[in-house]
Chain A
């Protein structure tokens, strides 16, 4: 292409100092296009959009504190004796990794603080990724054209858990060592290759002397690099698609309404980074997390009661706890869940809970956009979000999945629930086993009914206005509560949603309704049969005509806004 600065010298002179600086950079690197594209790019604003930001910012904080920690951490499993300032462990035999973790905590000024920030930020990272994902699901933000970005998000949550778990194990303390041992036990249950994978992972028998170094490489190199890559792809797609927006007056699938990036949105989002950092710093300053010096170095013999994994691993651990290994009495009928098949061991009591629930959750998670698309036959682009109540069946599916997850998560604390509420541990487990199956079904039914009820409430308000709390006595003695009609903007918020009807089976190109299509139609009925339609102007007209005295009398409050 033609050179940037040849013969024709522009006479343009920026007037302000900052303008001249911008121009200087622009003339050398040509950033004007980027600035023009992004400088005033419009971003919709909503509190629920912040979860993704929290995730991004906690990841940045993780990178910063993590880098600091690598300067002092030594991932070796060689044996050493502790000679640091924490007297209870003086001269205790331990690994170099644990020793250096103690030194970071007690010898390096600010080291404990960095560890605390790192750990809290990690917990918050996975939490915010999860909540962000829930937000995206319940608002239908995964629909076309964002299905692939939803998948990238699913990969990110797996990577986030992987990053968390590999990091959790590094200090080589008693607690994390037991966690690794559980992982080893689960790996060994894998048919055919389990024992080999275990030996390859640990460089021999558990615990060996290799695992910490290997996890360290995964934790500080491979996993964060993959997360960075995925975050870049994730954000790139956000730019390509532009952000979704909540429904409301002036918003539709063809526009994006919000604040310009510079200065307002950038200031809010940028300022928010510091707020996230500040909150994590407060937590790190005041609340101890993972006090490894209390646990002691890893030793295969002791274990403390009430041990808990970090929260995001809880659901997998809980699933392990829920599965019964044996059904029946010791001296009566007995069914084991470990089977010997052709001389080989199939230990379903470990394999099933380790694979099946996670398998269900992630399979549904990754395929859901396509499942819903198939059922609804909706091939349109969606940039306006659904309020969760306006998609009752999807919301119910989400709640069912959430409860499925939470039951397993609660099961990871079954012993603490038992001791805290002074109930039998066995009973807690039996209840949770029942809830594992019943909970999602109940959750589905209740959530769907709640969503439909909220939709009906919206209809009521849109038709008859909001309750003002003003009781008026009419001349003939009747008491009524005055309802104030909504203005156009508020009403539009309540009526501007789609409520599709079930889509009957359609003939294909040969004019035949095939079996698959009939099945789809059944799903469509299931998905859409319970529906509350938004009110129409005619209905509103009718409601007014019926003469709700209250409304008519208190009409002064609105209208005029539409000049």
Chain B
């Protein structure tokens, strides 16, 4: 038996010497003898340790006081600056740290210097006796046997079927967590309303952009006209409709067939929502005409209709066909011809419908 209730130094090296007496293996010498600490031998050292522990506890008291003084003395008012808040936060941190570390280090120091540190051995008991083990298996078998579930497959199979189906209502009640997706992801605010083409306006103030304002090399963050005036769902619409507007030398654009008139004077508009997982593609490298998504570094080449040239995106950014209205403001001649943003299961179907 272990002698864990004893814990005296004389006995600690006498237990647990039962090594595996294999041929050719070293014999377990048992727990090493206890080495007395300074405080065990010298009462002065013990007294000193006692005082150190007390000092640490007093440090904790001081920490608590620092916390309380900081909390009440620094009042947060409307005139308080981030500096005041930062100072209060720091002092609260220092107060708490001292209060906690004082107690913590004090107790640990106490345990390490003054409490008995004899290692003792305790026997491990088997989780259960060998009889119990066999009895348990027998009981389990009896239970299964008496239930007759093995002998009556009809009961077993119908029960399995019932239990398998029973959770379905629990899944079904979540049916109203959200609306049907339908083709909501395929449309944005850029679609002309009642025949009126939407103007391209600045993000976030919503002022329209004149084609003449867009100089070569410049880039605009664009939202559709009327977005800021929406009563509800503004962020939902914005999440699909944001566009980047850039002007290049028209010779540098290589529009594919059918897209020749989607640009105006070298001004092109592309969806800002990354086709990878939907981050805003916010970085425009003027010199190389690359667009870079800061989240996962997908890189799109403006001179090739925003084809992916690096990174995890697989599809080009959708282009918004633009033109100017009679007042010289940039307008979208139609909605995007494909769904914007990350791919989804029904996306191709939506794209084909939008294209036709």
Task: Enumerate chain A residues within 8 angstroms of B145, measured Cβ to Cβ.
Answer: none
Q: Which residue of A lies closest to B310 (CB)?
A: A426
Task: Enumerate chain A residues within 8 angstroms of B105, measured Cβ to Cβ.
Answer: 271, 275
Interface size class of A (residues with CB under 8 A): 35 or more
Contact yes or no, A415 B100, CB < 8 A: no
Q: How far is the CB of A317 from chain B (nearest CB, A)?
A: 8
Give the residue of A178, A198, A241, A323 whose beta carbon is less than 8 angstroms from that of B312: A323
Task: Enumerate chain B residues within 8 angstroms of A41, measured Cβ to Cβ.
Answer: 4, 122
Contact yes or no, A249 B314, CB < 8 A: no
A182-B278, A199-B180 are known contacts. Are A349 and B88 too (CB-CB below 8 A)? no
Q: How far is the CA of A537 from the CA of B97 in the complex (A)?
A: 53
Contact yes or no, A349 B295, CB < 8 A: no
Contact yes or no, A199 B179, CB < 8 A: yes
Q: Which of A335-382 contact B (CB under 8 A)?
A: 336-338, 340, 343-345, 347, 349-350, 353
Contact yes or no, B343 A207, CB < 8 A: no
Give the residue of A42, A284, A325, A336 whose beta carbon is less than 8 angstroms from that of B93: A284
The stretch among A128-136, A398-406, A445-453, A488-496 that forms the contact with chain B is A488-496
Question: Residue B221 at the A interface, CB < 8 A?
Answer: yes
Contact yes or no, A491 B26, CB < 8 A: yes
Q: Which residue of A lies closest to B344 (CB)?
A: A188
Q: How far is the CA of A302 from the CA of B313 in the complex (A)?
A: 19
Q: Which of A218-242 contact B (CB under 8 A)?
A: 240-242
Task: Enumerate chain B residues within 8 angstroms of A6, measured Cβ to Cβ.
Answer: none
Q: Which of B257-314 contact A (CB under 8 A)?
A: 272-274, 276-280, 282-283, 294-298, 301, 304, 307-314
Q: How far is the CA of A338 from the CA of B274 in the complex (A)?
A: 14
Give the residue of A40, A86, A325, A345 whose beta carbon is less than 8 angstroms from that of B5: A40
Question: Residue A152 at the B interface, CB < 8 A?
Answer: no
Give the residue of A178, A325, A561 whose beta carbon is less than 8 angstroms from that of B314: A325
Residue-wise interface mask of A (176-187) relative to B, using a CB-CB cutoff of 8 A (1 in contact, 0 not): 001001101110
Q: How far is the CA of A275 from the CA of B96 in the complex (A)?
A: 11
| Residue of A188, A189, A206, A273 with highest tally of chain B CB at under 10 A | A188
Contact yes or no, A345 B348, CB < 8 A: yes
Contact yes or no, B181 A196, CB < 8 A: yes
Q: How far is the CA of A338 from the CA of B276 in the complex (A)?
A: 10
The stretch among A11-19, A67-75, A260-268, A514-522 that forms the contact with chain B is A260-268
Q: How far is the CB of A562 from chain B (nearest CB, A)?
A: 6
Q: How far is the CA of A189 from the CA of B310 in the complex (A)?
A: 20
Q: Which residue of B lies closest to A344 (CB)?
A: B345
Task: Enumerate chain B residues within 8 angstroms of A194, measured Cβ to Cβ.
Answer: 344-345
Question: Residue B7 at the A interface, CB < 8 A?
Answer: yes
Question: Residue B195 at the A interface, CB < 8 A?
Answer: no
Contact yes or no, B96 A268, CB < 8 A: no
Contact yes or no, A259 B124, CB < 8 A: no
Task: Enumerate chain A residues within 8 angstroms of B45, measured Cβ to Cβ.
Answer: none
Question: Residue A303 at the B interface, CB < 8 A?
Answer: yes
Task: Enumerate chain A residues within 8 angstroms of B71, measured Cβ to Cβ.
Answer: 109-110
Q: List 16 A-B contacts (CB under 8 A).
A: A181-B278, A198-B181, A200-B177, A249-B29, A250-B16, A254-B18, A255-B122, A271-B108, A274-B102, A284-B89, A301-B203, A325-B308, A325-B311, A325-B312, A330-B304, A492-B29
Instruction: Please report A residues at the B interface, Cβ cutoff 8 Å.
Output: 40-42, 85-86, 105-110, 112-113, 116-117, 145, 178, 181-182, 184-186, 188-196, 198-208, 210, 240-242, 249-260, 263-264, 267-268, 270-279, 281-286, 293, 298-307, 317, 320-326, 330-331, 336-338, 340, 343-345, 347, 349-350, 353, 383, 414-415, 425-426, 429, 488-489, 491-492, 495-496, 534, 536-538, 561-562
Instruction: Please report B residues at the A interface, Cβ cutoff 8 Å.
Output: 2, 4-5, 7, 13, 15-20, 24-26, 28-33, 71, 74-80, 82, 85, 88-94, 96-108, 110-112, 115-117, 119-124, 127, 174, 177-181, 184-185, 203-204, 221, 223, 235-236, 238-240, 242, 272-274, 276-280, 282-283, 294-298, 301, 304, 307-315, 341-349, 352
Closest 7 CB pairs of A and B: A285-B93, A185-B277, A274-B104, A271-B107, A250-B31, A278-B101, A278-B100
